[in-house]
């Protein structure tokens, strides 16, 4: 379904979701599109807050730390509360899980109606808020399990990434862009603030198979595994001719890699041997998007989406990007 805007035929996100359901899930009831609608509504509110942050005394920290031990920014809290409010009243959402909070929010008892579980990083890259660098929201959607785990909430939440029914992110930058997948390709939308709608800008995105760009915080190089250090040394040789591009916001670095190719690395360090990125709020949803666009995501040993989580805030190393580039990292680093 499409509409006209400035004499141009455009497709809104909501119309695109409905069209996708008609093609891939003709028996769908519309409940799933309602969940995505709640997420997009929340991100429009967050985008508005981000845009006006410097005018509204919402920059800086709250003085608190979250479960990750990180300083909570005022916008972190606003984004978190916004998503909880926009999804909490929807009958089909049973559980919401935020990177910012210790425990999951049990909204309703999981049943055939309230079957969706939404996990999210409300404001990725929040340490960059005060310096006006791109930040974002990452989300992952699961369904309650139907294999005899009724009543055990964590069994419903702690599912491997391959069970995701949808995932996506929103990047707040010079424009607000949303990318999502339901397992049938990756589609990208840009928010038109004049009409308050996300409009289709790229459909069925294909990540380049290769790309001579790597993204990593090389300040930690001496703490990385030997194989990763060897890879980074190789990228600087005349033979390789690679370029470093590192923003420091995961969403922003992944967004560039998705569109331009290359590889993003966040290896383990001596200080964080289990990795630093959160499996369920960051690695899983971005891995789902990467694979749907033809890319690869690994923790250095195995496919990210195959990892069975054992804890709500489990961390993981991450190598994600173009197939040729992630394979090349693996050739140096054997996990």
Q: What is the DSSP string of 93-145?
A: EEEEEETTSSS-EE-S--SSSS-EEEEEEEEETGGGGGGT--EEEEEEEEE--
- Which has more pLDDT, 90 or 56? 90
pLDDT at 75: 83
Pick the CATH number of 213-332 from 3.40.190.80, 3.30.450.40, 3.40.605.10, 3.40.50.10490: 3.40.190.80
Any idea which of 69-73, 94-98, 166-170, 314-318 has the lowest mean pLDDT?
69-73
User: Looking up tokens 């049943």, which residue turns up?
Assistant: 111
pLDDT at 129: 75
Structure tokens at 272: 């964080």
Structure tokens at 300: 């250095």
CATH superfamily placement of domain 3-202: Fructose-1,6-Bisphosphatase, subunit A, domain 1 (3.30.540.10)
Rounded-to-10 torsion of CA 37, 62, 281, 35: -10
Non-local CB neighbours of 114 within 8 Å, separated by 6+ positions: 91, 92, 93, 94, 107, 108
Q: How far apart are the first and last CA of the chain?
A: 46
pLDDT at 66: 55
Record the pTM.
0.91
pLDDT at 61: 53
pLDDT at 18: 84
pLDDT over 70 (residue 70): no
Rounded-to-10 torsion of CA 318, 320, 326, 331: 0
Helix axes 31-51, 13-24, angle to 10 degrees: 160
Q: Other C-beta atoms within 10 Å of 331: how many?
A: 12
Q: pLDDT tens for residues 198-230?
A: 999 999 999 999 999 999 999 999 999 999 999
pLDDT band for position 1 (50/70/90)?
very low
Any idea which of 114-123, 141-150, 248-257 has the lowest mean pLDDT?
141-150
pLDDT band for position 264 (50/70/90)?
very high
pLDDT at 41: 94
Q: Give which of 332, 334, 318 is closest to 266, Cα–Cα.
A: 318
pLDDT at 8: 60
Over range 261-290, report the average pLDDT: 96
pLDDT at 300: 92
How far apart, in whole angstroms, are the C-alpha atoms of residue 64 and residue 25?
A: 44
pLDDT over 90 (residue 171): yes
pLDDT band for position 88 (50/70/90)?
confident
Over range 278-289, report the average pLDDT: 98
Q: Where are the domains of the chain?
A: 3-202, 213-332
How does the average pLDDT of the chain come out, rounded? 88
Q: pLDDT tens for residues 7-60?
A: 566 899 988 888 877 777 766 566 788 899 999 999 999 998 888 765 555 454
pLDDT at 67: 55
pLDDT at 148: 56
pLDDT over 70 (residue 65): no
């Amino acid at each position: 379904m499409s509409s006209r805007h400035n004499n141009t035929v455009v497709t809104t996100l909501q119309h695109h979701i409905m069209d996708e359901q008609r093609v891939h899930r003709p028996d769908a009831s519309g409940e799933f599109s309602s969940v995505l609608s709640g997420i997009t509504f929340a991100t429009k509110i967050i985008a508005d807050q981000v845009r006006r942050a410097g005018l509204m005394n919402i920059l800086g920290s709250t003085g608190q730390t979250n479960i990750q031990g990180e300083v909570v920014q005022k916008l972190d809290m606003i984004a978190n509360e916004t998503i909880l409010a926009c999804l909490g009243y929807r009958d089909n959402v049973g559980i919401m899980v935020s990177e910012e909070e210790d425990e999951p929010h049990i909204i309703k008892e999981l049943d055939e109606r309230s079957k969706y579980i939404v996990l999210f990083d409300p404001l990725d890259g929040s340490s960059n808020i005060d310096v006006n660098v791109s930040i974002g929201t990452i989300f992952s959607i699961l369904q309650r399990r139907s294999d005899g785990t009724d009543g055990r909430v964590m069994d419903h939440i702690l599912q491997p990434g391959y069970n995701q029914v949808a995932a996506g992110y929103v990047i707040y930058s010079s424009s607000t862009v949303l990318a999502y997948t339901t397992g049938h390709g990756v589609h990208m939308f840009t928010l038109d603030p004049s009409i308050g709608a996300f409009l289709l800008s790229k459909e069925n995105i294909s990540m380049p198979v290769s790309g001579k760009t790597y993204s990593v915080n090389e300040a930690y190089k001496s703490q990385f595994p030997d194989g990763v250090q060897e890879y980074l040394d190789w990228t600087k040789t005349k033979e390789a001719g690679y370029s470093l591009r590192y923003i420091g916001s995961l969403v922003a670095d992944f967004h560039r890699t998705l569109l331009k190719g290359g590889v993003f690395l966040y290896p383990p360090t001596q200080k964080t041997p289990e990795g630093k990125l959160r499996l369920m709020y960051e690695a899983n949803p971005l891995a789902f998007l990467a694979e749907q666009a033809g890319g690869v995501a690994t923790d250095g040993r195995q496919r990210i989406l195959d990892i069975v989580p054992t804890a709500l805030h489990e961390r993981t190393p991450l190598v994600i990007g173009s197939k040729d580039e992630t394979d090349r990292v693996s050739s140096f680093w054997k996990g």
